Amino acid sequence: MIYLTQKSDIWGATASSLCIIHCLTTPLLFVTQTSSVSYFETLPFWWKYIDYFFLVISFMAVYKSTITTSLNWIKKALWINWTLLFIVIVNEKLKLFILAEVFNFIPASALIIIHLYNQKYCTCNTNKCCQNER
């Protein structure tokens, strides 16, 4: 937990990257599953709900990053994209409305880019600099 609070942007970018990899590989698993004889009718339980694990890690990373960033627009961008990712994932599970698959990748990609930008240019090392918003 200590490492997460010190390197929240790295954790956030990693979680979003793994989320994208998960979204890209799921269709491949469906294809390989249908072409092979298997005792499972669907994907394993843990694979279907790993999205929520990524959301929790991303939430913690966004929360910590917004505390330590020095730019106000980074805070807003992180929360907006996390909220969009949350909506897309919940919609995918509940099938509330039809969205193209590309909408899964947009907020996740944006989170990766914003976390990496924040890590390189905007992270405060002390609480004092975070109080002086630019």
* Six token digits for residue 69: 């960033």
Q: Tell me the angle at which helices 50-68 and 8-35 cross, rounded to the nearest 10 degrees.
A: 160
CB-based contact 88:99 (threshold 8 Å): yes
For each of the chain's 134 residues, which pLDDT tens digit applies?
444 445 777 777 777 777 777 666 666 655 555 554 454 556 667 667 778 888 888 898 888 888 888 788 989 999 999 999 899 989 988 889 888 877 888 888 888 888 888 887 766 555 445 444 44
Dihedrals φ, ψ of 100, to 5°? -70, 150
pTM of the full structure: 0.68
